[in-house]
Amino acid sequence: MSEDRKRILGMLAEGKITADEADLLLDSLGSTAEETTPTTPAPSSNNWPTGPAEAGSKPKFMYVKVFGGKDTVDVKVPLGLLRAGLKLTSLIPAQAMEQINESMSAQGMSFDMNNLKPEDIEALIENLGEMEVNIASGDGDHVRVFCA
Amino acid sequence: MNAIMPPLVIDVRVREEGSRGFRIWFPFVILWPLLLIIVGFAFVVALLVDLALLLADSRYHHYTLLLFHSLQLLAAIRGTHAHIDSETALVDVNVY
């Protein structure tokens, strides 16, 4: 059972939503899954995984695949790079960090890098295993992003 | 140790339509001895700076950690692979 489905049923059990509302939400969840799942599975190259990591296993790489159209893209990025980058960010001197935050804010990204803690970084990376992005464009291109 | 081991080989291949393209196969491992000397020296300097900042009661005294995490970032590049195959070009980047 998916996390979303559990959450909806939990809300129903707690009496936060009615049975009709739960039914509506479960229906919309089902149709969203149908819409987002690509009809063509991501081809596996170099023995790379074709889908996200199983629940409980720690993801090691982020995969970006574009297939089905004229162009083919296969990118594999170690999540250690993200971990090292974020750890490095948390050590940047405060004066430099203020400038970075200001620049990011000017670009529309109001995110304070000072709030990043090592335990948050680990939790972020661990939860990336559950992330999956599937995009099917009209011209036949499929884009898939996942961590495994 | 593995967490701070820099890449061994960097392999970049680019081929464009109508041209021969090029390939760079660079054994980064040959730079390791030079990197070891530079990093060793930088670590000593960073340690001394951090110690001085700590004694001066400065809030920021993490230059050694900053250097260590920079090395980790370099090491984390290992395992990166990118393959882009379009109608007009083929790009392959592999870091081992």
Name the residue of chain B whose CA is nearest to A90's CA: B66
Please indicate whether, in this complex, the C-beta atoms of B62 and A91 are within 8 angstroms of each other. Answer: yes
Neighbours of B30 (CB within 10 A): 10
The H-assigned helical ranges of B24-90 are 32-55, 63-76
**Range A84-101 average pLDDT:** 82
- CB–CB contact B73 A61 (8 Å): no
Q: Which of A44, A45, A74 to mutate to test the interface with B (most CBs of B within 10 A)?
A: A74
- Measured CA to CA, the distance from residue A18 to residue B43 in angstroms comes to 63
The CA distance from A88 to the nearest CA of chain B, in Å, is: 6
Q: A84 to chain B: which residues are within 8 Å by CB? A: 69, 72-73, 75-76
Q: Does residue B84 belong to the interface with chain A, where contact is any CB pair within 8 Å?
A: yes
Residue B65 at interface with chain A, using a CB cutoff of 8 Å: yes
Q: Which pLDDT score, from 0 to 100, does residue A30 have?
A: 61
Whether the per-residue pLDDT at A64 is higher than 70: the answer is yes
Per the prediction, chain A carries an average pLDDT of 77
Contact A128, A59 (CB under 8 A): yes
Higher-confidence residue: A40 or B22? B22
Q: pLDDT value at position A39?
A: 45
B85·A72 Cβ contact <8 A: yes
Please give the backbone phi and psi of residue B41, each rounded to the nearest 5 degrees, phi first: -65, -45
- Counting as low any pLDDT under 50, the low residues of chain B are none
Tell me which chain B residue has its CA closest to the CA of residue A87: B69
Q: What is the mean pLDDT of residues A12-38?
A: 67
